[in-house]
Structure 1
Amino acid sequence: MRLPLFRHPIPPPAPATPFHAIGDVHGRLDLLAPLLRRIARRGTDHPIVVLGDMIDRGPDSAGVLRLLHHWRHEQLVCLAGNHESMMLGFLADPVRHAALWLRNGGVETLASFGIAPPDLATPGAAADCAAALSRALGPMQDWLRGLPLRWSSGNVVAVHAALDPARPPGTQDERTLLWGHPRFATTPRRDGLWVVHGHVVQDAPSAEGGRIAIDTGAWFTGRLTAARISAGAVDFVTNDG
């Protein structure tokens, strides 16, 4: 699906090269793998940017991480989302961060690695669980800790959640990039940038007002969306489970 973009009072998107952005996967390996193959069949080496929230809620976060960690594409970029941030917080300080992560999909991620969730009332259980997850992640843990928070090409910026519309991309707070900003959806930017993002579930992907929203709630809707962004055009591809 291609949307007209020139009706907006801002310049159309103009990345340096066409690229694909993929919305929140949330453990849906069954949707991600065929979508990546579909993109690869186009025979292009253009960048592929995964917008974070690769894990939690869906059934196979372990499989998603393994696939993306080992995917043989020189220009694959995975961004950090708030769910990766929560998991890394749990690994760093299990007692402090376990409850938040577990109630937001961490239980499903642990299950995908064959790890039972901890009984938080039992002393040491959270730490033991974090140690087991650290062993299961192996070298993927360092990869996850090094994920960037944003990626840009031309006048298009890719982030997980949002940009503060009043600040340049390079001066954003980490929390805004991961969790969102109250004025992002209503206040247009004045610098001509387009922001492609996930984080907030949409009934359908959209491209308007300088924002390209592609989180279609894959973990519960069975619809994982990618956007192909090129000079003056945005094409959406949704993989239905």
Structure 2
Amino acid sequence: MKRTLVISDIHGELQKFEQLLKKMEYNHEEDQLILLGDYVDRGPNAKEVLEKVIKLKENGARVLKGNHEDLMIKALTTDVERAWNHWVMLCGGDATLYSYGFSEENIAVNEEDFKKPVLQSDILQKHLEFIQSLELYIETPEYIFVHAGVEPTTPISETDPHLLIWIRDVFHKGYTGEKTVIFGHTETNSLHNDTENNNVYFGSNRIIGIDGGAVYGGQLNCLELPSQKVFSVK
């Protein structure tokens, strides 16, 4: 492969995703595409993004699970009220369900007597099975690719999967490993400590954050390796 191309945190922003793939002239026969998770929630086209991701994986892309996929799985495969409310009310799961054609009435629950809505959708079931099968990290001789980061003092193969998709400051400030970690999850404007800066973050401790906050009006970033060239769309 001539290039490795890494994208994270698409969050239902299909148009930006397609524009970015075009801008970086992605060719599945020559490039290794790696997607770091969070394809769903908050943005308008989660279903269509997942359809696109499935096709890209069929053509050789490596696809990781993010914390929003994990929230979606827990909300839709269990009857736990907290899991449902956390995903739908706090984390943008309602936008994901709307993309599958469900209405606000379809997903409403009785707060006094919780009963998860019955949501019939073959395509949703197919997508659930897909995201349940996704890997959590990729490790190469030079890099670690992961959604949120790694626990600095624990080998990644022994790390609690929850940390790989949720960790923030402990990783950002404490990582001292030899391999460069490419991650999403935390918007780069917070890593830059600049609300206007959504560019890729190159940390001095070999961490590279690429989540440009696309769904919040920021930008969708792609990091090209080994050149470290960046492509972005707003």
Q: What is the TM-score of this pair, normalised by structure 1?
A: 0.83
The match for 2:120 among 109, 126, 132 is 132
Matches within 5 A, 1:75-154: 75-96=60-81, 97-102=83-88, 103-117=90-104, 118-121=107-110, 126-128=116-118, 131-133=119-121, 135-154=122-141
1:17 touches 1:153 (CA, 8 Å); kept in 2? no
Task: With a CA cutoff of 8 Å and minimum separation of 6, indicate the structure with the bigger relative contact order.
Answer: 1
Cα deviation for residue 120 of structure 1 reads 1.9
Matches within 5 A, 1:25-64: 25-41=10-26, 45-64=30-49
Cα deviation for residue 43 of structure 1 reads 7.5
> Where does structure 2 lack aligned partners over 5 or more consecutive residues?
190-198
Match of 2:219 in 1: 223
Cα deviation for residue 140 of structure 1 reads 2.3
Q: Which runs of 4+ in 1 moved over 6 A?
A: none
Aligned length: 219
Match of 1:12 in 2: none
- How far apart, in 2, do the equivalents of 1:138 and 1:188 lie? 38
> What letter corresponds to residue 104 of structure 1 in structure 2?
C
1:169-227 deviation line (CA, Å, top 9, x unaligned):
2111111101015421111323x111100001112212222101000101012410010
Q: What is the TM-score of this pair, normalised by structure 2?
A: 0.85
> What letter corresponds to residue 114 of structure 1 in structure 2?
G
Secondary structure of the residue aligned to 2:231 is strand
Closer/same/farther in 2, CA of residues 119 and 73 from structure 1, 3 Å limit? closer
Match of 2:59 in 1: 74
Residue 206 in structure 1 maps to residue 201 in structure 2:
yes
> What letter corresponds to residue 86 of structure 1 in structure 2?
L
1:46 touches 1:75 (CA, 8 Å); kept in 2? no
Match of 1:236 in 2: 230
- How far apart, in 2, do the equivalents of 1:41 and 1:18 lie? 9
Match of 1:7 in 2: none
Secondary structure of the residue aligned to 1:132 is coil
- How far apart, in 1, do the equivalents of 2:202 and 2:145 lie? 13
Closer/same/farther in 2, CA of residues 136 and 124 from structure 1, 3 Å limit? farther
